[in-house]
Amino acid sequence: MLTSLGDAGALGGLAILFLAGVTFLADSASASSWRPNYDESKVPSYTLPDPLEMKGGGNVADAEAWRTRRRSEIVELFRKHVYGRAPGKPEGMTFKTFDLEPKALDGKATRKQVTVSVTGKPDSPSMDILMYLPNRAKKPVPVFVLLNFQGNHSIHPDPGIKLSTSWISKNYEGVVNNRATEACRGKAQSRFPVEKILERGYGLATIYYGDIDPDFHDGFKNGVHGALDKPRQGERPPDAWGAIGAWAWGLSRALDYFETDRDVDAKRVIVLGHSRLGKTSLWAGACDERFAIVISNDSGCGGAALSRRAFGETVERINANFPHWFCGNFKKYNDREGDLPVDQHMLIALIAPRPVYVASAEEDRWADPHGEFLAALHASPVYRLLGTEGLPTTQMPQVNQPVMGTIGYHIRTGRHDLTEYDWQRYMDFADKHLRGKP
Ligand code: GTR
């Protein structure tokens, strides 16, 4: 039932999110009276941990102290208490290009599909990277990489895209017995304006997140957990990686591949994600400094939103509804957000001095737009310490009025979704930082 909550956008936005909560409540006596708080005056008072205060006291004196000490302290806190500990690059990993079409999409793009085998052994989990690279652009090109919810075949009706054979939530249109059918092609295309991305000279790379780890709680047996976790004796450690940790790890493996592809500029890879996959892009960008720009679209609780505000989705709700997303230790902070040694502004700060963009949607109260803005704002002192501008405002902008410093932010009209408006702003932001356009 839990995965049937699915991706909020695909299932119809806030109403469903709220219903999802109610569905869950019916199963959980202890949660029977819980309702999300959407009242700003009822946000509890809180003090954020200071990203620039060293463990054991004392301030981070300069950029050098941030880079050599404080940054790794904070990464470690997130590993231990929130997302869990992921392994590094696996030995034996292989890349196999199984499709190369130089005249895809009426000649506009080169389409490539590459299978990444995690261990290189026959029983290894594997993920397929689908790429469209603009034929008119000079190579190597900067590339947006993002995970998708419904399979690579869902992002465009192009019949050349391999139909996924992985487990897919049955809630998506066209999925039969948890497998994709031809009817699934292009069903998520509103979130992937491929031609518009190509027109602006960017490449697009995407991977089905379920190739890395299927999004349901199976005790971490399937996906990359099953293949890479050490054989278990008893309980899994409370800081073992969850699904978000695994998805983020998969994005780093895609970057390993890009470093071998001469058409891709691996130094200009922009990692983007929507919703749970926005939580994932932030964690991927925090862990892997090879990502040049990091973008969070409507990522909410456990992503860009400050946990301590407990506005909309809370730590307790997310852990109850999605017990496999975070590490075991994160459950200790159910209804005790104030005890967390970190908050999400520190996750954004880990991306400094690289550009990061946080985006919210006006109707997406479940994800706490104001809390997402505040996390971006409170990451700014770290950006400034490192000699960059951070967020160029202290006031939450009006809807559809993006601000773009080294930290960017917008809140657009509409619901929880990844829209062309969002994409165009992300490309403006990438133009500014990767191509020096004003
Ligand atoms: C919701 C979840 C959110 C968000 C969303 C999504 O059900 O409560 O944290 O991640 O799913 O990924 O669509």
231-259 per-position pLDDT tens digit = 777 789 999 999 999 999 999 999 999 99
Collect all residues with Cβ–Cβ distance below 8 Å to 57 and sequence separation of at least 6: none
To the query of whether residue 275 is one of the catalytic residues in this protein, the response is yes
pLDDT band at 30 (very low <50, low <70, confident <90, very high): low
Percent residues over pLDDT 70 in the chain: 93
Mean predicted confidence (pLDDT) in 380-393: 97
Centre of ligand 1 to C-alpha 275, Å, is 6
Model confidence pLDDT, tens digit, residues 88-112: 999 999 999 999 999 999 999 999 9
What pLDDT is stored for residue 31 in this prediction?
60
What pLDDT is stored for residue 29 in this prediction?
44
Residue 326 confidence (pLDDT) above 90: yes
Nearest CA to ligand 1 atom 1: 8
**Which residue out of 164, 252, 275, 281 is catalytically annotated?**
275
Phi, psi of 319, rounded to the nearest 5 degrees: -70, -35
Model confidence pLDDT, tens digit, residues 129-159: 999 999 999 999 999 999 999 999 999 999 9
Assess contact for 201 and 141: CB atoms under 8 A: yes
- Ligand 1 and 17: CB distance under 6 A: yes
Mean predicted confidence (pLDDT) in 50-72: 95
pLDDT band at 316 (very low <50, low <70, confident <90, very high): very high
Tell me the β-bridge partners of 411: 360
DSSP-derived secondary structure for 131-191: EEEETTSPSSEEEEEEEESS-GGGS---TTSPPP-S---TTSTT-BTTB--GGGTTTTGGG
Tell me the β-bridge partners of 115: 96, 128
What pLDDT is stored for residue 4 in this prediction?
31
Indicate the SS3 state at residue 85: strand
Phi, psi of 405, rounded to the nearest 5 degrees: -105, -140
Phi-psi category of residue 57: left, alpha or beta, with phi > 0 → left and psi -120 to 50 → alpha: left
Residue 342 confidence (pLDDT) above 80: yes
- Ligand 1 and 8: CB distance under 6 A: yes
What pLDDT is stored for residue 230 in this prediction?
84
Dist. CA 150–CA 249, nearest whole Å = 19
Residue 13 confidence (pLDDT) above 60: no
More confident residue, 32 or 235: 235
- Ligand 1 and 191: CB distance under 6 A: no
Tell me which residue of 302, 344, 343 sits closest to 326, measured CA to CA. Answer: 302
Centre of ligand 1 to C-alpha 164, Å, is 23
Encoded amino acid at 8, one letter: A
Angle at 252 between CA 246 and CA 256, to 5 degrees: 140
Q: Quick one: tokens of 216? A: 């349901």
Indicate the SS3 state at residue 270: strand
Dist. CA 245–CA 302, nearest whole Å = 12
Q: What is the mean pLDDT of the chain?
A: 93
Residue 339 confidence (pLDDT) above 50: yes
Q: Which of 14-18, 57-61, 242-246, 328-332 has the lowest mean pLDDT?
A: 14-18
Mean predicted confidence (pLDDT) in 175-200: 98
More confident residue, 23 or 282: 282
Dist. CA 355–CA 435, nearest whole Å = 13
Dist. CA 355–CA 194, nearest whole Å = 23
Q: Quick one: tokens of 420? A: 């062309």
Dist. CA 204–CA 254, nearest whole Å = 12
- Ligand 1 and 5: CB distance under 6 A: yes
Residue 335 confidence (pLDDT) above 70: yes
What pLDDT is stored for residue 105 in this prediction?
98
Residue 6 confidence (pLDDT) above 80: no
What pLDDT is stored for residue 55 in this prediction?
87
What pLDDT is stored for residue 14 in this prediction?
34
Nearest CA to ligand 1 atom 12: 276
Residue 354 confidence (pLDDT) above 60: yes
- Ligand 1 and 299: CB distance under 6 A: no
- Ligand 1 and 20: CB distance under 6 A: yes
What ligand 1 atom has the least distance to the C-alpha of 318?
A: 8
Mean predicted confidence (pLDDT) in 32-59: 94
Which secondary-structure segment (H or E) carries 370? Answer: helix 369-385
Give how far Cα 240 sits from Cα of 33, 243, 433, Å.
Answer: 31, 10, 35
